[in-house]
Structure 1
Amino acid sequence: MPKIENFKGNLRLRWSYRGKRHCLTLGLADSPRNRVIAQMKADEIEKDIAYSQLDPTLVKYKPELEARHSLKVTELFEKFITAKSREIYSQSLTKYHATLGYLKQFFREQQAKTVTPEKADQFRQWLSERILPNTRRPMTTSTLKERVTLASACWDWAIEENLLEKNPWKKIVKGIKPGKTPPPNPFTVEEIKTIVAGFRCDRYYSFYADYVEFMLSTGCRPGEAIALRWKHVNEDCSSVWIGEAYYRGSLKTTKTTAAGHVPLSKSLQQLLIKRRAVGTTPNDLVFPRPKGGYLSDRDFRQRPWMKVLAKLNIPYRKPYTTRSTLISYWLSQGEDPAVVAKLTRTSVKMIYEHYCGVIKTNVQLPEILG
């Protein structure tokens, strides 16, 4: 009797006949309704085995193509996200969910099997004209290519899972030429002072002032500051160890897996000394939520950060801009790019690719004959 199994969220049948093992992927998601279909196929196979009429190609037992290919675009991409969620970090899944949102807006109820290369290209054109939230600019070419590439990857996955037969996105992805990465748009020194003062004086969000100042003064990624515990701070608060990051429910290593101690300025040292209360344990978070636990980077961005910047009439940039702000300022003061790269846990190559315009140099050819 063929056995019904769940394999990566889909149903398949496994059995042995005349000393040979057989496996039939049905191309059906695991659901009560589809298990009924799987059982009917299992019964049909068992009957054919009893009468020595088993179809060796197994084509006879595969569900009709129409049943397997009737998924809507959005349903297909949701299955793709579910499959990928087992393989990648939750931080990366943000891109997948953003792509799903655009697919829902454009394709609505359309079935995935009806998407032609022409329709895929219409989506690309439509997407290139979308204005990003909280900005007045369309998405960059690199972001556009990333979104369309994810759609193409979804169709490739669907073909492997026997859900679709063709990928209409292949040429569309190749046709998107990567544009130049825009230079960082850091906060000015005046804006930095205004932001920190604005948080400290805010009636509702002063609680986050230390967190904001720490990010602006160290250039750490938001998730790195959120994951910081007192055991990572040395005794006199003159340096911190950064080697973990918390993002959307997951605690993991830093983005580049690089870790190390970061020496702090005198003002940051005093900030942490004042913040470390009597009775604080090594495992306590340095910057917890008001009610305890990890801060939510999303909630912080959508409420305190956006609202305070709006009150101060400062053009919106993501909280992550605090990182490029510190790196830009540090380099403009003449610090060695290799030192900046090491203490911000990134590569020298990245520093020169993205911040070459602010690196302070006084290059002059040497008097080689003098």
Structure 2
Amino acid sequence: MAKRRKTRHKKGAVVVWARNNMLRLRWRYDGKQRHLSLGLPDTPINRQIAERVSSEVARDIAYGEYDHTLDRYRLQHSSADQAIKHPSTYELFDEFIDYKREQGLSEQTIASRYRSVRSHIKRFGQDIKTPDDATTLVEKLRGQQSPTTANKNLGILKQFGRWLAIANHLDADPFVDIERIKVIKTKPRSHDVFTVQEVQALLLAFKTDERCSQFHDLCVVLFSLGLRPSEALGLRWQHIDLKRRCITICESLSRAGDGRTAGYARVRKETKTGSVRVLPLNERLIAMFRQRHGSESGADDLIFTTIKGQPINDHRTYAKQIRKRKLVIA
């Protein structure tokens, strides 16, 4: 069995090491080995403190200011407070999200709005302690976002600032004096709808592309019946009446409460408006459903699934392909 090689330290170095999980310093001075117990458990934060003391000892030796009593290098009881890690702004925002969750904020709102602000704070890369820090962050966001989005995010940051002050993490709210941007109202844009030619080209592309062929029939239903994606994804064979040539829209397979769109995370609910609609089926849809319905298809089985038979993720699969094809076709 190969022997474990010991780490060799530079001659004259002040070494940080641990004994019984307690941090100590070791160095040589005047030809003798010296030791100093710091009285701190071996943790990453306490290692940083030990390295600072180590540097102080090495500097004093180099400049002839070495304290032979070692009193200068001993950590007082009050100094142990340095071992307490003060949470970063990024970590405090996580606590703020937990607070909002306890106040009843939905997981979907947290996922769609608060998580993005959290990401911006993390990328900002510094703690927000003063109004100047807060202003710098907000100005950075305004340079990357539309006025409307920037104002929404500022609203969340203002809530965060008030919470920081109330929870005594800061003496005052750093965002309190930052004003919202004045948004110039413009005429609403018309919906960028597909033309008949684009619909035909899109369906042809899905039908001929092996990677997307399973979404062809789903898109036919969406375009033909005007269903919401969650309604089409939640369709089961019990909703189809081929004899009466109609389809009943009474439920949906909606995104999870935290906004996840993955098939395994979807939740079966009533329709968005709570209504039940019975829609007629044309010849094309009748033929399509008859072709898809197999001898083993059960009443509770989903009509549209992935190749592996799982619920479809509308965000990462067919919707992504639609946006891609739209850009190509337009």
TM-score, normalised by the number of residues in structure 2: 0.59
Matched letter for residue 193 of structure 1 = Q
Matched letter for residue 141 of structure 1 = P
Alpha-carbon deviations, 1:246-279, whole Å to 9, x = none?
2122415468443321414413343333322222
Alignment of 1:315-326 (within 5 A): none
Determine whether 1:167 maps to 2:181.
no
Of the three residues 201, 210, 214, the one matched with 1:207 is 214
Of the three residues 274, 283, 290, the one matched with 1:258 is 274
Alignment of 1:224-243 (within 5 A): 224-236=231-243, 238-243=246-251
Shift of the 234–265 alpha-carbon distance from structure 1 to 2, 3 Å rule, reads closer
Shift of the 185–308 alpha-carbon distance from structure 1 to 2, 3 Å rule, reads closer
2-structure distance, mates of 1:88, 1:305: 32
Of the three residues 284, 301, 312, the one matched with 1:295 is 312
**1:240 counterpart SS class:** strand
User: Do the aligned residues in 1 keep the contact of 2:154 with 2:180 (CA within 8 Å)?
Assistant: no
Of the three residues 191, 194, 200, the one matched with 2:201 is 194
Shift of the 159–233 alpha-carbon distance from structure 1 to 2, 3 Å rule, reads farther
* Greater helix proportion: 1
2-structure distance, mates of 1:84, 1:289: 36
1-structure distance, mates of 2:152, 2:159: 10
| Alpha-carbon shift at residue 200 of structure 1 (Å) | 0.9
Q: Matched residues, percent identical?
A: 21
Deviates more, 1:118-127 or 1:203-212: 118-127
| Alpha-carbon shift at residue 186 of structure 1 (Å) | 1.8
Deviates more, 1:207-216 or 1:144-153: 144-153
Partner of 1:155: 161
| Alpha-carbon shift at residue 302 of structure 1 (Å) | 7.7
**1:273 counterpart SS class:** helix
Partner of 2:117: 99
Matched letter for residue 217 of structure 1 = S
| Count, aligned residues | 237
Partner of 1:78: 94
Shift of the 143–174 alpha-carbon distance from structure 1 to 2, 3 Å rule, reads closer
Alpha-carbon deviations, 1:167-188, whole Å to 9, x = none?
3334546444374454322222
**1:153 counterpart SS class:** helix
Structure 1 vs Structure 2 CA RMSD: 3.4
Determine whether 1:221 maps to 2:228.
yes
| Alpha-carbon shift at residue 202 of structure 1 (Å) | 0.7
2-structure distance, mates of 1:280, 1:96: 42
**1:239 counterpart SS class:** strand
Partner of 1:327: none
Alpha-carbon deviations, 1:138-180, whole Å to 9, x = none?
x543333222222233334444544445333345464443744
| Alpha-carbon shift at residue 303 of structure 1 (Å) | 5.5
2-structure distance, mates of 1:231, 1:252: 15
Alpha-carbon deviations, 1:26-50, whole Å to 9, x = none?
xxxxxxx9xxxxxxxxxxxxxxxxx
Alignment of 1:1-370 (within 5 A): 70-84=86-100, 87-92=104-109, 93-105=111-123, 107-108=124-125, 110-112=126-128, 114-116=129-131, 118-130=132-144, 139-172=145-178, 174-177=180-183, 179-180=185-186, 181-236=188-243, 238-247=246-255, 248=260, 249-251=265-267, 253=269, 256-266=272-282, 267-300=284-317, 304-305=321-322, 308-309=325-326, 313-314=328-329
2-structure distance, mates of 1:122, 1:210: 50
| Alpha-carbon shift at residue 100 of structure 1 (Å) | 2.4
Q: Structure 2: which 5+ runs fail to align?
A: 1-42, 44-80
**1:97 counterpart SS class:** helix
User: Do the aligned residues in 2 keep the contact of 1:142 with 1:179 (CA within 8 Å)?
Assistant: no
Tell which structure's C-alpha radius of gyration is larger: 2
2-structure distance, mates of 1:208, 1:273: 17
**1:146 counterpart SS class:** helix
2-structure distance, mates of 1:148, 1:209: 42
Matched letter for residue 291 of structure 1 = K
1-structure distance, mates of 2:112, 2:97: 10
**2:267 counterpart SS class:** strand
